[in-house]
């Protein structure tokens, strides 16, 4: 079965059927949520906005007090005392400030909540065919999917919905994963290899598979995805916590400053009203970034979801913004991962059919794509029928492992069927014949160990190198047997199998793009150096590491990290899992094994290794946006200082009037204009917080200068203009208080 056309996809950047952030439905819901989030138990998590809310409450109480103690009839409003109206206006705008910040956060959460709804619908309760034994022929009973537990075996046939997450242990099938990925093209899921993971809620389109359930109800991928897009599991990242501490400290400092101003004012005989003091405090504390910080983080996660990447933590998203090195697994990540046997190349004196037959025997129980393709090729080329099967011989399959780089078969009994185990011996007798296939070095070493010599060593090496140089993987086949009275062990190499793989399209351009972003790409593979070099050249990576074991992959990452570099790793195999866990950003292909997906902190639903470009861009965008808005927020204070201080203390210290460079109408109007600007700027910046500041690959230095110029200078200038305009508008409307 060829899955080539199914697995490669163009560099799709947006999730199909995605909802826009500014969908009227989302806006309506966010407005409601903004009020719901006024709950102080919620606000306390954000110290800056909590202070504003406390200010809103105090000014509201102050307004009511003035209303009750005011001389004469309180209504109509036009007759209200100037001071009362001023307090009402400030109080209202302080409430708006809190509501606007809540609205920003609710908007950021909105799209995820809408998506979670769609996903919930995908989680319909299906019926499962639970097998008694993990065999196709075993009897099965129908049970509801939620009744399945980890370790159960289910049969899923064409047309069935896969009832839970798990691993294919037998069979190959085309699966429609659109319920999860939004992508309608089917994907191949098969046992043994690195494409064995299936997700509950997806549908089998053809053939059948047996799945070992790997997650209990409530802990499935879909459950995790729903919690994730809903933001239910969102934890503050260390960076966010640090920034929050900074903002809280600034808040406390300004609180102390504002409070300590009052005794002086009282001393000089003209105390400043509590409302003005609160307005002053709110304007000086960093409400802009305080109000938008959490929205920026949520929006970053959401942007990843829109690109079909699930980040398990906000920390991983931030780390992605700082990546220096990207390690990629070769097979299945850079290549299509469907290594297919194409040729049998016997050594002199060996019949090609004998080689094919040995390779077939060594692969009958090998559930990897490589193993299956060898069986298929041998049967096809030499019309070897079902008569050659493992049932005829007492034998033991030796599965492939990344450590040994071999797989094969031990034949335990002679033709007369006198199996060692059948004789009831405790210690198993040595096998009468063994067949091994695997990496050249591993097999040559195996032959030596078992008393064979490398008769055609030179020719073998040439054949192996030739295959490798073309970017294919050579698998050497060898056998051992026993002869004579003393059962002397003999061993010899039979020949070579060529396994072909194809580099995914468009790789070179994408790696070039990563290079421009300052990221080095290194391919790591268990394959031999020649194959690795050929594929590395073709794909255009900067460097490669060949003959890697899970340990050396891990070691490479640790070395890079020790050198102060941030490392990202993409992979799909069980042997990639330790490395995925160690990397700062570990991206598992959704098509990959359960182990890889559990170890990684991101999963790419499109299984596209160069998705890291988007991931890095989103990470950088998140960091830049947060930096830019923090700069803007703090720069704002300068202008507010000039607007409020002279106005607030003009009666206390008439000399301060020299500072009234903005020429604002009245002290009340100055204070109110500053409060209004302070609230409106949050609303104005919501689109930027949600969309993010655009990232340009121009290097860290120029980028910082550019952003300081825009957001630093802009942050100083904008409030001067804004506050003056609001003040003019208030005068025009005769609202001068
Ligand atoms: N089914 C198999 N039976 C025997 N040998 C195998 C089998 N599959 C792979 N090998 C050999 O083991 C080597 C390492 O395996 P593999 O390529 O899967 O490692 P890896 O670390 O996952 O690298 P990659 O990045 O290529 O996935 C291969 O180059 C090949 O020589
Ligand atoms: K402020
Ligand atoms: Mg692999």
600 vs 309, 310, 572, 573, 574, CA distance in Å? Answer: 12, 10, 10, 11, 11
Q: Which two tokens stand for residue 214?
A: 């790997």
* pLDDT, position 422: 46
Query: Coil, strand, or helix at residue 355?
Result: helix
Q: Which residues does 313 contact at the CB level (< 8 Å), separation at least 6?
A: 235, 237, 601
Mean pLDDT of 556-561: 93
Q: Quote the distance between the C-alpha of residue 636 and its chain's center.
A: 35
- Contact criterion met (CB below 8 Å) for 328 and 609: yes
**Alpha helix segments (H runs only) across 198-273:** 221-230, 238-267
Pairing between strand 203-204 and 585-589? unpaired
Kindly state if the Cβ of 338 falls inside 6 Å of ligand 1.
no
Q: Which residues does 433 contact at the CB level (< 8 Å), separation at least 6?
A: 410, 411, 479, 480, 481, 482
* pLDDT, position 393: 65
Kindly state if the Cβ of 570 falls inside 6 Å of ligand 1.
no
Instruction: Give the whole-angstrom CA distance, residue 20 versus residue 107.
Output: 11
**Exactly one of 329, 410, 604, 606 is catalytic; which is it?**
329
Whether the pLDDT of residue 158 is over 70: the answer is yes
Whether the pLDDT of residue 87 is over 70: the answer is yes
Q: Which residues does 302 contact at the CB level (< 8 Å), separation at least 6?
A: 108, 111, 112, 229
Ramachandran angles phi, psi of 480, nearest 5° = -125, 150
The total number of residues written for the chain in this structure: 737
The model's pLDDT over 490-514, given as tens digits with 9 standing for 90+, comes to: 999 999 999 998 888 888 888 998 8
Helices (H) and strands (E) in the chain, counts: 24, 21
* pLDDT, position 17: 46
* pLDDT, position 612: 87
Q: What ipTM, to 2 d.p.?
A: 0.93
Strand partners, 585: 568
Q: Pick the residue whose CA is nearest to atom 26 on ligand 1.
A: 331
Select from 191, 192, 327, 331 the residue to mutate for testing ligand 1; criterion: most ligand atoms less than 8 Å from CB. 331
Whether the pLDDT of residue 233 is over 70: the answer is no
Say which residue, 663 or 359, is predicted with more confidence.
359
Q: Is 402 annotated as a binding residue?
A: yes
Whether the pLDDT of residue 1 is over 50: the answer is no
Q: Class of the 319-334+504-605 domain? A: alpha beta
238-267 helix and 287-306 helix, angle to the nearest 10 degrees: 160
The model's pLDDT over 307-335, given as tens digits with 9 standing for 90+, comes to: 889 888 888 888 998 899 999 988 877 88
The model's pLDDT over 425-441, given as tens digits with 9 standing for 90+, comes to: 445 567 889 999 999 99
The model's pLDDT over 697-734, given as tens digits with 9 standing for 90+, comes to: 777 778 788 888 889 999 989 998 999 999 999 888 76
DSSP letters for 671-735: HHHHHHHHHHHHHHHHHHHHH-PPP--S-HHHHHHHHIIIIIIHHHHHHHHHHHHHHHHHHHTT-
Whether the pLDDT of residue 591 is over 60: the answer is yes
For residue 330, give the ligand 1 atom closest to its CA: 25
195 vs 23, 222, 243, CA distance in Å? Answer: 37, 18, 41
Instruction: Give the whole-angstrom CA distance, residue 194 versus residue 202.
Output: 18
Ramachandran angles phi, psi of 127, nearest 5° = -95, 145
Print burial letters for 129-153: b (CB count within 10 Å at least 16), e (below 16).
bbbeeeeeeeeeeeeebeebeeebb
Select from 364, 369, 475 the residue to mutate for testing ligand 1; criterion: most ligand atoms less than 8 Å from CB. 475
Query: Coil, strand, or helix at residue 467?
Result: helix
164 vs 70, 178, 182, 600, 644, CA distance in Å? Answer: 68, 16, 18, 20, 61
For 623: left if phi > 0, alpha if psi spans -120 to 50, otherwise beta; the answer is: alpha
pTM: 0.76
The reply to whether omega before 23 is within 30° of 0 (cis) is: no
Whether the pLDDT of residue 421 is over 60: the answer is no
Instruction: Give the whole-angstrom CA distance, residue 626 versus residue 321.
Output: 12
* pLDDT, position 343: 94
Kindly state if the Cβ of 574 falls inside 6 Å of ligand 1.
no
* pLDDT, position 389: 67
711 vs 245, 282, 651, 707, CA distance in Å? Answer: 22, 21, 34, 6
Best CATH choice for the domain 149-216 from the list 2.60.40.10, 2.40.420.20, 1.10.1740.10, 2.70.150.10: 2.70.150.10
Q: Pick the residue whose CA is nearest to atom 18 on ligand 1.
A: 526
311 vs 123, 304, 308, 333, 413, CA distance in Å? Answer: 21, 7, 10, 19, 52
DSSP letters for 120-186: HHH----EEEEESSSSTTS-EEEEEGGG--TT-EEEEETTPBP-S-EEEEEEEEEEE-HHHHS--S-
CA of 655 from ligand 3 middle (Å) equals: 75
Q: Which residues does 219 contact at the CB level (< 8 Å), separation at least 6?
A: none
Nearest ligand to the CA of 288 is: 2
Whether the pLDDT of residue 471 is over 80: the answer is yes
Q: Is 453 annotated as a binding residue?
A: no
Q: Is 221 annotated as a binding residue?
A: no
* pLDDT, position 12: 38
Instruction: Give the whole-angstrom CA distance, residue 240 versus residue 247.
Output: 10
Fold of 341-386+394-414+429-500: Calcium-transporting ATPase, cytoplasmic domain N (3.40.1110)
Q: Is 572 annotated as a binding residue?
A: yes
Q: Quote the distance between the C-alpha of residue 351 and its chain's center.
A: 51
Mean pLDDT of 635-664: 76
Please list all protein residues whose beta carbon sits less than 5 angstroms from ligand 3, which is an ion. Answer: 331, 573
Ramachandran angles phi, psi of 495, nearest 5° = 165, -165
Mean pLDDT of 220-236: 74
Cβ–Cβ contacts within 10 Å for residue 462, how many? 11
Instruction: Give the whole-angstrom CA distance, residue 558 versus residue 542.
Output: 19
H or E stretch at 353: helix 352-363
The model's pLDDT over 161-187, given as tens digits with 9 standing for 90+, comes to: 999 889 899 999 999 988 777 777 788
* pLDDT, position 9: 35
- Contact criterion met (CB below 8 Å) for 180 and 201: yes
Kindly state if the Cβ of 592 falls inside 6 Å of ligand 1.
no
H or E stretch at 94: helix 82-122
Q: Which two tokens stand for residue 467?
A: 């295959």
Q: Beginning with the edge strand found earlier in the chain, give each strand of the sheet holding 433-438 in spatial order.
A: 340-346, 488-500, 473-483, 433-438, 406-411, 395-401
Q: Where are the domains of the chain?
A: 24-115+229-308+617-733, 149-216, 319-334+504-605, 341-386+394-414+429-500
Cβ–Cβ contacts within 10 Å for residue 347, how many? 20
H or E stretch at 17: none
For 192: left if phi > 0, alpha if psi spans -120 to 50, otherwise beta; the answer is: left
Q: Which residues does 323 contact at the CB level (< 8 Å), separation at least 6?
A: 519, 566, 567, 568, 584, 585, 612, 616, 619
The model's pLDDT over 3-56, given as tens digits with 9 standing for 90+, comes to: 333 333 333 334 444 556 678 888 999 999 999 999 999 899 899 999 999 999
Mean model confidence pLDDT for the chain = 85
CA of 592 from ligand 3 middle (Å) equals: 9
* pLDDT, position 536: 94
For residue 371, give the ligand 1 atom closest to its CA: 1
329 belongs to the catalytic site: yes
- Contact criterion met (CB below 8 Å) for 656 and 646: yes
Mean pLDDT of 585-609: 87
Q: Pick the residue whose CA is nearest to atom 2 on ligand 1.
A: 400
DSSP state of 219: S
* pLDDT, position 426: 44
Kindly state if the Cβ of 620 falls inside 6 Å of ligand 1.
no
Say which residue, 106 or 225, is predicted with more confidence.
106
């Amino acid at each position: 079965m060829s899955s080539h056309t199914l697995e490669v996809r163009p560099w799709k950047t947006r999730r199909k059927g995605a909802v826009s952030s500014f969908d009227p439905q989302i806006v309506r819901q966010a407005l409601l949520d903004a009020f719901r989030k006024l709950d102080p138990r919620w606000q306390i998590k954000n110290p800056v906005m909590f202070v504003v809310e406390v200010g809103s409450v105090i000014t509201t109480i102050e307004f009511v007090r003035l209303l009750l103690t005011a001389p004469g009839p309180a209504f109509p409003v036009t007759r209200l005392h100037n001071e009362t109206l001023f307090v009402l206006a400030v109080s209202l705008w302080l409430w708006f400030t809190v509501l606007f910040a809540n609205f920003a956060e609710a908007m950021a959460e909105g799209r995820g909540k809408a998506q979670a709804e769609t996903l919930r619908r995908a989680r319909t309760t299906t019926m499962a065919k639970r097998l008694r034994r993990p065999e196709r022929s075993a009897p099965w009973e129908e049970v509801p999917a939620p009744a399945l537990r980890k370790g159960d075996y289910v049969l899923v046939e064409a047309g069935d919905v896969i009832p839970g997450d798990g691993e294919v242990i037998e069979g190959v099938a085309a699966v429609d994963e659109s319920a999860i990925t939004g992508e309608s093209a089917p994907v191949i899921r098969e046992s043994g290899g690195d494409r064995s993971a299936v997700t509950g809620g997806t549908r089998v389109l053809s053939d059948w598979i047996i799945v070992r359930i790997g997650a209990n109800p409530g802990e499935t991928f879909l459950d995790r995805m729903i919690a994730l897009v809903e933001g239910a599991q969102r934890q503050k990242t260390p960076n966010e916590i640090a920034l929050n501490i900074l903002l809280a400290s600034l808040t406390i400092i300004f609180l102390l400053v504002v409070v300590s101003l009052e005794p002086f004012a009282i001393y000089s005989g003209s105390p400043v009203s509590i409302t003005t003091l609160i307005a002053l405090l709110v304007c000086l504390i960093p409400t802009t970034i305080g109000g938008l910080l959490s929205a920026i983080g949520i929006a970053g996660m959401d942007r990843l979801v829109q690109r079909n990447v699930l980040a398990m933590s906000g920390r991983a998203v931030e780390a992605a913004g700082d990546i220096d090195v990207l390690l990629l697994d070769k097979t299945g990540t850079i290549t299509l991962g469907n290594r297919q046997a194409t040729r049998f190349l016997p050594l002199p004196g060996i019949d090609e059919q004998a080689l094919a037959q040995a390779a077939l025997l060594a692969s009958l129980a090998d559930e990897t794509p490589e193993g299956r393709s060898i069986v298929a090729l041998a049967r096809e080329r030499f019309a070897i029928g079902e008569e050659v099967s493992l049932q005829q011989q007492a034998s033991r399959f030796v599965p492939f492992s990344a450590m040994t780089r071999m797989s094969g078969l031990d034949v335990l009994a002679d033709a007369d069927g006198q199996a060692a185990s059948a004789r009831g011996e405790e210690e198993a007798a040595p096998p009468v014949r063994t067949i091994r296939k695997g990496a050249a070095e591993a097999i040559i070493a195996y032959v030596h160990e078992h008393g064979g010599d490398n008769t055609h060593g030179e020719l073998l090496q040439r054949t192996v190198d030739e295959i490798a140089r073309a970017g294919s993987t050579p698998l050497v086949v060898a056998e051992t047997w026993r002869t004579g009275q003393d059962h002397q062990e003999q061993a010899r190499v039979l020949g070579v199998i060529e396994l072909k793989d194809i580099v995914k399209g468009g790789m070179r351009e994408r790696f070039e793009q990563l290079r421009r972003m300052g990221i080095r790409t290194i391919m790591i593979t268990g394959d031999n150096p020649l194959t690795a070099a050929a594929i590395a050249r073709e794909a255009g990576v900067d460097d490669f590491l060949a003959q890697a074991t899970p340990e050396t992959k891990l070691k490479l990452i640790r070395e890079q990290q020790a050198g102060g570099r941030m490392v990202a790793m993409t992979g799909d195999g069980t042997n990639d899992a330790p490395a995925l866990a160690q990397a700062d950003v570990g991206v598992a292909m959704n098509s990959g094994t359960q182990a890889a997906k559990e170890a990684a902190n991101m999963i790419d639903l499109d299984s596209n290794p160069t998705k890291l470009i988007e991931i890095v861009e989103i990470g950088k965008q998140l960091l830049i946006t947060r930096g830019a808005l923090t700069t803007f927020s703090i720069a704002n204070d300068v202008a507010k200082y000039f607007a409020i201080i002279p106005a607030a203390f003009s009666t206390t210290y008439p000399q301060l009037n020299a500072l009234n460079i903005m020429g604002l109408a009245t002290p009340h109007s100055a204070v109110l204009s500053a409060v209004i600007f302070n609230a409106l700027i949050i609303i104005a910046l919501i689109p930027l917080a949600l969309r993010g500041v655009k990232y340009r690959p121009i290097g860290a230095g120029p980028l910082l200068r550019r952003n300081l110029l825009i957001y630093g200078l802009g942050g100083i200038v904008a409030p001067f203009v804004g506050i003056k305009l609001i003040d003019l508008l208030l005068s025009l409307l005769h609202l001068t208080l």
